[in-house]
A and B are shown apart, each in its own frame.
With several copies, the nearest count.
Chain A
């Protein structure tokens, strides 16, 4: 992890409010694990507002050309700032941060199920690419609110079968990722390791659905952060079993953002 200066190579809309930033970071030589994130500075050094960096997952990384990709949903002030960046402009990145997905726990022949809700898809894309390269089979469920908000479908299709589900049924089946897991399972879906990223209610539903399943499922969590480094204790979460050993508070920025489903309490 370090502080890097990146140069925007490309900024492109994927949907009306999701955009992709490709950033050249010549000095980045560290390894970047899927699930890790960067803290992106919003204001320039001449401004104190917006003050805090924004945590954004790495959506892809090309280590030979030192190119980082972020896929971002415009929501508040900070992401609106990022949406206005144009090629040639510089950004200040702090990362890669956190503990990502355990890519190397899976080996050739393992079958991964990737479950993404909305803007949860980007980190799973980088994960899918690495798993696929390692010979792991990838099945992906992508949930969106509606057709107009969908993105990355073709990209995931490179790595294996993809099922799309939308709240309003305008694309794929009508429902949510949980109904789709059920449907696909009944059609013979078989997996050994699960990976999920998406909004909190989705993760909570997933936890309920998969309770007692036995197969490991890793989820990437979000929490409001300050340092992103493990020093300020902003992003604490409680272990789900407070009586377990190693039961101290866990930090989403350092111990996570990826946790085993069931390892920590899911909350805002």
Chain B
């Protein structure tokens, strides 16, 4: 019998379209205490940089209506530790790995991409050109089509696995950026990263986040994510990993209708740490209820 949840992300075959969003799942070890990671379509790990990063001062998170801000600042143990400890452990869990990579310069990205793409279990890279919480690099790469394309080209040249470029929603025209990275050879797109936001502590007259601003995620941004995925899906041919506020099996299918071939669940893991296996278990029943044989039929099937 065919697996109704199987999807293809370009050349990549996944047993289901559900994966964690980068930064919301660490390197998987903590959630593995709660359930078997093998159930997931893939695991997207926290952004990896060349050297270890401490990240921003705390507070790093703030709750907002229907969402949250974060300004983690890419805290991670750096390429060496990731390749020596984190990825080997994850590879043993028998789940496909997608590594989110970040850097301050093109050379940083290239160095990380070259090494990390060759680690066991890594099936794709996710190029984070959209982190709003670092001074250098990050979102700066993601708001200009030219720099986004240049970076994509450089990483593609060294990566041994497909490269997904993760776009920033903080732009006037996301389609323009998507087309630029498509032309530069990207194998797929991830969207969206967080919207830049500010939360204020009225009594202290200060921003809640030590970093002043942070990235807005969670259900609040879902309509913006769906709109951008829909726009991009119609304009480029690349497979899309969709994300932004997903918190139910219904949300997953809405993202696929808008054009996502797979989805990432981020903030919702904090609300319900068991959400991903729950969604995976609910999807077959929901598809049956909707009269859909294979989830991949829904990709881009929105009628407008």
Contact = CB atoms under 8 A, between A and B. Distances in A.
A and B touch in the complex (CB under 8 A): yes
A211 B223 CA distance: 41
B269 interface: yes
Nearest to A237: B58
Contacts of A234: 58, 60-61, 70, 72
Interface residues of B, number: 42
B97 to A, nearest CB: 16
Contact of A49 (B54, B57, B219): B219
Q: Is the interface of B mostly helix, strand, loop or mixed?
A: loop
Contact of A51 (B31, B72, B210, B271): B271
A232 B218 contact: no
Interface string A225-267: 1111111111111100000000011000010000000000001
A52 interface: yes
B55 A268 contact: no
Nearest to B81: A248
A160 interface: no
Contacts of A248: 52, 77
A232 B274 CA distance: 15
A51 B218 CA distance: 8
B68 interface: yes
B26 interface: yes
Interface string A24-59: 000000000000000001000000111111000000
B110 to A, nearest CB: 25
B247 interface: yes
Contact of B272 (A1, A3, A238): A3
A245 B66 CA distance: 40
B265 interface: no
Given A232-B23, A233-B60, A2 B66 contact: no
A231 B269 contact: yes
B197 interface: no
Contact of A232 (B66, B70, B210): B70
A53 B67 CA distance: 12
B179 interface: no
13 contacts: A2-B34, A48-B219, A51-B66, A223-B58, A226-B70, A227-B273, A229-B273, A232-B23, A233-B60, A233-B72, A234-B58, A236-B60, A249-B54
Interface of B: 23-26, 29-31, 33-34, 46, 52, 54-55, 57-68, 70, 72, 75, 77, 208, 210, 218-220, 247, 267, 269-274
Given A236-B54, A248-B77, 11 more contacts: A1-B34, A41-B271, A48-B218, A51-B267, A53-B270, A53-B271, A230-B26, A234-B70, A234-B72, A238-B54, A249-B55
